[in-house]
Chain A
Amino acid sequence: MKEQIQEILEEARRSIPSCESDKDLEELRIKYLGKKSSLSDLLSKIGTVPKEERPQMGALLNKTKKEIAQLIEQKKLKLHEKADASRALGLDVTMPGRPLPVGAKHPLYQIWEEIEDIFINLGFEVAEGPEIESEYYNFDALNTPSWHPARNPQDTFYLKGGKLLRTQTSPMQIRVMEKFKPPIKIISTGRCYRVDKMDPSHLPVFHQVEALLVDEGITMSDMKGELDSFIKRIFSADTRSRFRPHFFPFTEPSAEIDILCINCKGEGCKLCKNSGWLEMGGAGMVDPAVLEEVGYDPEKYTGYAFGLGIERIAMLRYGISDIRKLVTNDLRILKQFQ
């Protein structure tokens, strides 16, 4: 009897998977599992088996039945799957496919990465530094006079214990220059803080990118050229920039950078308050006093530095007029940046 059962199972294993239609499959089901099947027949003859072998034989019969039922079930699923995929009647190609999720980087960080990549392509290294800084790195080493209003607690966050939150990424430049000899060609990027009430154009927390290049023979032309390359890459090739004399403690000569209004191309509009120009940031040749402070010979080395606000660039690029939109984290906004 054991051999017979085995034979039936082998046959079922061969015939079921090669079956092509529901009808054939149903026939096979009746053949193997129906009331008149050979398995039922064998079950009815179990009495003829010696008593001590009966339980074993019973179990084997059940196991075989179960396996065949499983084979039929699997085959049924397979047949249906195929039918589902090909059934022309039920197919509606406009119905949505299985949705796969697509998220998005925050627009600010998208711009940040783009800025980093532009500077990396221009040969800059990226330096990061602590946001919690000392007064020395944030002000003193940067040649900020003691009377400078930026040092006031109305402008700068001071922490219990005496440290402060950096108001710019420049302290990192000092840290790099202290540690390494020229040539230096870095950008420092990251969060900065200033005591500002939140309004459409101010946040107490913002992001900055600052470039620093120090080597022999670096001139103001290098600064203008490199900054202009950046501006043209982040906005568009026809974006012009200009430098206006200004005062920063750590550069001499210092300048503010304007770009031709990307909205009106200089005609005058609401965005540029009819001036035709947009203010982008500060720049200048590194003050000899700063170079001296880090132990460089200012007669031998010269350098430039410029700083830009990442929020400002993101707002201009995306046409966002309220800076606070960049920290609301509203999915109705974030989904626009997929």
Chain B
Amino acid sequence: MKISYNWLKELVPTQLNIDEFCEKLTMFGLEVEEVVQPGKKLENIVIGKVVSVEKHPNADKLSLCKVDVGGDESLSIICGAPNVVKDILVPVAMIGAKLGDFEIKKAKLRGVESFGMICSEKELGVSDDHSGIMIIKQDFEPGTPFADAMGINDNIIEVEVTPNRPDLLGMIGVAREVAVMLNTEYEHPEIAFEESEVQTKDEISVIIEDAEKCPRYCARMVKGITVQHSPEWMQRKLVASGLRPINNIVDVTNYVLLEYGQPLHAFDYTKIKDKTIVVRTAKDKEKMMLLDDTELKLHSNNLLIADTEHPLALAGIMGGLDSSINDNTKDVVIECAYFDPRNIRASALEYGLQTDSSNRFERGMDPNGLIEVIDRAAQLIQLTGGGEISSGVVDCYPHKIEPKILTLRVSRANSILNAKMSVDEVKNYLNNFEFSTKKTSEDTFEVTIPTLRPDIEREIDIIEELARCYGYNNVESHFWINRIDNKQKRTVVRLTKNHLISLGFFEVNNMSFASPDDLDVLKIPENDFRRKVVEFANPMGEQFSIMRSTLIPDLLKNADLNLSYKFENFKLFELNRIYLKEREDTFAEPTYLTGVIVGKFDPFYWKEEQRATSFYDVKGIVESVFSKIHCSKNITYKVSNQPYYEEDSAADIFLDEKKIGSCGIMKDDVLKSFEIEALVLLFDIDLSNIIPLYNEKAIRFTEIVKYPPVLRDIAVIAPSDIEVGEIEQEIKSVDPNIIKDVQLFDVYTGKQIKQGCRSLAFNITFQSETSTLTDKYVDKLFDNIVNKLSLEHQIELRQE
């Protein structure tokens, strides 16, 4: 629903600026979706006074005007409108003004220059009138901004009205709500008029045949009116609320709809046969022609407003064509009724007629507010079209709909909101909503809910209203803070375990105890950190005299056990703590991931010969683990000299500069001490430093590069002591922005390659994020790579 802030301020005074107001409104439950400032569109449009009008020398229909816009000199403006004359005030769009997408510039029309434009109402979006330029009747200084003069400097607030609140579909309802929100008062329009001698009930009678579908029907008469344009102030408010002015009668019904939310209908009195309005259901297959020229075929569930013979309107949804107001209408019957929401909804759905009127009726209007609304309509029709208002309202209301009376326990409200509202506070809030209260005990009220609030049906509904007054933000929050949970570690541990399992590993679980002999067997030197063991004061025996400082011995024992059960090829891992003594009384318990690959890496497959296992198998496992837990980028490998690995068959693993583990082929004699004769690959990684780095929220989507990559192969002869990793780095460093990837795809040493060298082939991916790479550019980079490798590293391009 669109709310004009200026209009609203007429009903509820407030000093709040628009932003503060909208914030408050949203937090009170009326969510502001958008605020539009129509005046913004009217910048550089000012009031001008036409000083002189001459005929355009070269065009009959154009006039050459001088217009005073408050500056030192009058502007020369060419105008094509027939109604431009000297001394009138007009809206002038000056150079730089924008009318929609059209910007006013200095222009030459048939050889004469024009410095602006005099606008019609339609061009300014004030009305649909395009018959001539807009003539401003009030008195303004030339140069006054047009938006100020017209009061269009408004803020139009678009709010979402929830479906349970039909009372908020009118300005007065919004004003009532805002008054509660601001703890202040609001004003109803002042309704006063004189009634004629003629009694309405003598002019028109109303018969309700189906009181269930139409519980109440009110009618009033205004006789001798003139159908014409409605006054400017009314048109302006209609336009601000998104409605198009048509004529004073239609405009008044729309205006009152905007004010009260209650739909009205106006009939031409002369079209009502026998001066009788019959509210009845349609006969089967009865036909009627609607205002919009569509013909409906009705049935007995459709409610009609009819005279003694013909339908006049589809009740609450749309008027009929025959009975509608036309330019010659003199006497008007105003309808103001309450229809059963379910019936309106069914009929509107059935015929696909969701009108302003049906939308409101189907949410439930206030059956007891009709008299005020119909009086307001009569007053405004007289104000805009003259005529005489007949005396009294014909009010057909067979069974009055009474307001609901509910019991509210203040203690209940407080316990739901965890609040401490006093009885007086609660009473004040309720009265602001126009709920009347009667205290029935220290803790309870009898609350009368006005019929304009069909949404309040139970005590809990009242409590919701109190909660809004109390302020959702003032409700104390009581919650479980996530401050202890070890989610980060749990995630890394589970990712790692699940990953290894899908690679065929079995997890083992060993007890935390060990014997010092285990370290000797692994040949761990005396100064190694794993020698700082935690010793028992009361050990369970020599075999269990220390806490384990490495998981390796246990895994080797597990391997030995399973080899003895005739398993030949298998993979085991354990993810658990080790225990280290830091100082006399302080201990560390880092989490380790240790695994062994026993025998062949690949499972046996009848179709192929089983591949020999190598160092790169265990390295591949380790790399995949790191990539699973997002730390590959920080990991580097260097040749390891851990004593339990075969020489030149293992790597130490570094996280940034810190050594966190190793992987490689285990030494035969170490394995022999565990009675193992199979090949065993080992990895042994401290996860403690990696876990804190894991952050799943760091994963961000990056836009896919739309320029194609260029792939080139390079084959080089490199001295064997230069590591592949280094060469990859060197290649990348030639242009890290373009060289996205360097992949080793072939290694060869043999008789064609000179001693101490190896042939390496890499696949290089070039890609730019900003353009398509040309061959020439890639050639140049390729040459730079070749030059760099050759000059700095004696790595030569391999010749065919």
Q: Which residues of A contact B (CB under 8 A)?
A: 63, 95-96, 98-106, 108-109, 113, 116, 123, 125-128, 130-132, 153, 157-163, 176, 180, 183, 185-186, 191, 193, 195, 203-205, 326-332, 334-335
Checking B478, B486, B603 against A101 with a beta-carbon cut-off of 8 angstroms, the contacting residue is: B603
Give the residues in chain B near A205, CB-CB below 8 Å.
511-513
Given the interface contacts A101-B603, A104-B506, A106-B509, does A131 sit within 8 Å of B538 by beta carbon?
no
Smallest CB separation, A111 vs chain B (Å): 11
> Are B537 and A103 in touch, CB under 8 angstroms?
no
Smallest CB separation, A301 vs chain B (Å): 13
List 5 interface pairs A-B (beta carbons < 8 Å), by A numbering: A99-B605, A132-B579, A159-B587, A330-B562, A330-B565
Give the residues in chain B near A158, CB-CB below 8 Å.
536-538
> Are B504 and A102 in touch, CB under 8 angstroms?
yes
> Are A329 and B494 in touch, CB under 8 angstroms?
no
The complex places the Cα of A100 from the Cα of B581 at a distance, in Å, of 42
* B500 within 8 A of partner (CB): yes
> Are A204 and B511 in touch, CB under 8 angstroms?
yes
The complex places the Cα of A185 from the Cα of B481 at a distance, in Å, of 9
Smallest CB separation, A100 vs chain B (Å): 7
* B109 within 8 A of partner (CB): no
Smallest CB separation, B692 vs chain A (Å): 14
Known pairs A131-B589, A326-B509, A331-B565 / 9 extra A-B pairs, C-beta < 8 Å: A95-B606, A98-B605, A116-B490, A153-B537, A157-B538, A158-B536, A162-B585, A195-B538, A205-B512
Of chain A, the residue at the smallest CB distance from B507 is A106
> Are A127 and B567 in touch, CB under 8 angstroms?
no
Smallest CB separation, A296 vs chain B (Å): 16
Contact with A along B277-319 (1 / 0, CB 8 A): 0000000000000000000000000000000000000000000
Give the residues in chain B near A106, CB-CB below 8 Å.
506-509
* B480 within 8 A of partner (CB): yes
For the complex of A and B, the 4 pairs showing the least CB-CB separation, nearest first, are: A101-B504, A125-B485, A329-B508, A99-B603
The complex places the Cα of A154 from the Cα of B589 at a distance, in Å, of 24
The complex places the Cα of A144 from the Cα of B480 at a distance, in Å, of 29
Q: Pick from B187-195, B569-577, B627-635, B645-653 the stretch touching chain A.
A: B569-577
Of chain B, the residue at the smallest CB distance from A96 is B606
Give the residues in chain B near A162, CB-CB below 8 Å.
585
The complex places the Cα of A270 from the Cα of B508 at a distance, in Å, of 29
> Are B571 and A101 in touch, CB under 8 angstroms?
yes
The complex places the Cα of A237 from the Cα of B585 at a distance, in Å, of 47
The complex places the Cα of A149 from the Cα of B117 at a distance, in Å, of 102
* B753 within 8 A of partner (CB): no
> Are A113 and B494 in touch, CB under 8 angstroms?
yes
Given the interface contacts A160-B536, A329-B561, does A103 sit within 8 Å of B484 by beta carbon?
no
> Are A63 and B501 in touch, CB under 8 angstroms?
no
The complex places the Cα of A102 from the Cα of B428 at a distance, in Å, of 70
Checking B486, B494, B587 against A127 with a beta-carbon cut-off of 8 angstroms, the contacting residue is: B486
Of chain A, the residue at the smallest CB distance from B498 is A105
* B540 within 8 A of partner (CB): yes
The complex places the Cα of A109 from the Cα of B571 at a distance, in Å, of 17
Of chain A, the residue at the smallest CB distance from B585 is A161
> Are B480 and A183 in touch, CB under 8 angstroms?
yes
> Are B567 and A331 in touch, CB under 8 angstroms?
yes
Smallest CB separation, B548 vs chain A (Å): 11
Given the interface contacts A101-B571, A103-B503, does A328 sit within 8 Å of B485 by beta carbon?
no
Give the residues in chain B near A126, CB-CB below 8 Å.
484-487, 490
The complex places the Cα of A330 from the Cα of B572 at a distance, in Å, of 11
* B535 within 8 A of partner (CB): yes
> Are B506 and A334 in touch, CB under 8 angstroms?
yes
Considering only residues 585-622 of chain B, those with a C-beta below 8 Å from chain A are 585, 587, 589, 603-607
Smallest CB separation, B135 vs chain A (Å): 71
The complex places the Cα of A131 from the Cα of B577 at a distance, in Å, of 9
Smallest CB separation, B625 vs chain A (Å): 13
The complex places the Cα of A82 from the Cα of B561 at a distance, in Å, of 45
> Are B540 and A204 in touch, CB under 8 angstroms?
yes
A-B pair count, CB < 8 Å, reads 140
Of chain B, the residue at the smallest CB distance from A207 is B509
Give the residues in chain B near A105, CB-CB below 8 Å.
497-498, 501, 507
Of chain A, the residue at the smallest CB distance from B509 is A106
The complex places the Cα of A327 from the Cα of B561 at a distance, in Å, of 12
Q: Which residues of B contact A (CB under 8 A)?
A: 478, 480, 482-487, 489-490, 494, 497-498, 500-513, 534-538, 540, 544, 547, 558, 561-562, 565, 567, 570-572, 577, 579, 581, 584-585, 587, 589, 603-607, 800
Given the interface contacts A127-B484, A163-B587, A180-B483, does A330 sit within 8 Å of B571 by beta carbon?
no
> Are A191 and B512 in touch, CB under 8 angstroms?
yes
> Are A109 and B497 in touch, CB under 8 angstroms?
yes
Of chain B, the residue at the smallest CB distance from A134 is B585
> Are B501 and A159 in touch, CB under 8 angstroms?
no
Smallest CB separation, B687 vs chain A (Å): 13
Given the interface contacts A127-B486, A153-B538, does A185 sit within 8 Å of B510 by beta carbon?
no
Give the residues in chain B near A128, CB-CB below 8 Å.
486, 489
The complex places the Cα of A161 from the Cα of B586 at a distance, in Å, of 9
Checking B483, B500, B507 against A109 with a beta-carbon cut-off of 8 angstroms, the contacting residue is: B507
Give the residues in chain B near A109, CB-CB below 8 Å.
497, 507, 509
Of chain A, the residue at the smallest CB distance from B557 is A329
> Are B480 and A185 in touch, CB under 8 angstroms?
yes
Of chain B, the residue at the smallest CB distance from A180 is B483
> Are A160 and B482 in touch, CB under 8 angstroms?
no
> Are B506 and A335 in touch, CB under 8 angstroms?
yes
Of chain A, the residue at the smallest CB distance from B544 is A204
Give the residues in chain A near B538, CB-CB below 8 Å.
153, 157-158, 195
> Are B507 and A103 in touch, CB under 8 angstroms?
yes
Give the residues in chain B near A334, CB-CB below 8 Å.
506-508
Give the residues in chain B near A203, CB-CB below 8 Å.
511
The complex places the Cα of A229 from the Cα of B773 at a distance, in Å, of 63
> Are A332 and B565 in touch, CB under 8 angstroms?
yes
Give the residues in chain A near B567, CB-CB below 8 Å.
331
Interface-central residue, A101, A125, A326, by most chain B CB under 10 Å:
A101
Give the residues in chain B near A103, CB-CB below 8 Å.
500-507, 571
Give the residues in chain A near B558, CB-CB below 8 Å.
329
> Are A159 and B535 in touch, CB under 8 angstroms?
yes
The complex places the Cα of A153 from the Cα of B489 at a distance, in Å, of 33
> Are A98 and B607 in touch, CB under 8 angstroms?
yes
Give the residues in chain A near B579, CB-CB below 8 Å.
131-132
Smallest CB separation, B166 vs chain A (Å): 40
Smallest CB separation, A7 vs chain B (Å): 21
Give the residues in chain A near B512, CB-CB below 8 Å.
131, 191, 193, 205
Smallest CB separation, B258 vs chain A (Å): 49
Give the residues in chain A near B604, CB-CB below 8 Å.
99
> Are B603 and A100 in touch, CB under 8 angstroms?
yes
The complex places the Cα of A113 from the Cα of B501 at a distance, in Å, of 15
Checking A100, A101, A195 against B540 with a beta-carbon cut-off of 8 angstroms, the contacting residue is: A195
> Are A331 and B506 in touch, CB under 8 angstroms?
yes
Of chain A, the residue at the smallest CB distance from B564 is A330
> Are A328 and B501 in touch, CB under 8 angstroms?
no
Give the residues in chain B near A99, CB-CB below 8 Å.
603-605
Give the residues in chain A near B480, CB-CB below 8 Å.
123, 125, 183, 185
> Are A104 and B570 in touch, CB under 8 angstroms?
no
Of chain A, the residue at the smallest CB distance from B601 is A101
The complex places the Cα of A127 from the Cα of B482 at a distance, in Å, of 11
Of chain B, the residue at the smallest CB distance from A205 is B511
> Are A104 and B507 in touch, CB under 8 angstroms?
yes
Give the residues in chain B near A161, CB-CB below 8 Å.
581, 584-585
Smallest CB separation, A222 vs chain B (Å): 14
Of chain B, the residue at the smallest CB distance from A125 is B485
Smallest CB separation, B620 vs chain A (Å): 13
Give the residues in chain B near A132, CB-CB below 8 Å.
534, 547, 579, 587, 589
Give the residues in chain B near A195, CB-CB below 8 Å.
538, 540
The complex places the Cα of A93 from the Cα of B755 at a distance, in Å, of 50
Of chain A, the residue at the smallest CB distance from B591 is A128
Smallest CB separation, B399 vs chain A (Å): 50
> Are A329 and B572 in touch, CB under 8 angstroms?
yes
The complex places the Cα of A334 from the Cα of B607 at a distance, in Å, of 28
Give the residues in chain A near B800, CB-CB below 8 Å.
63
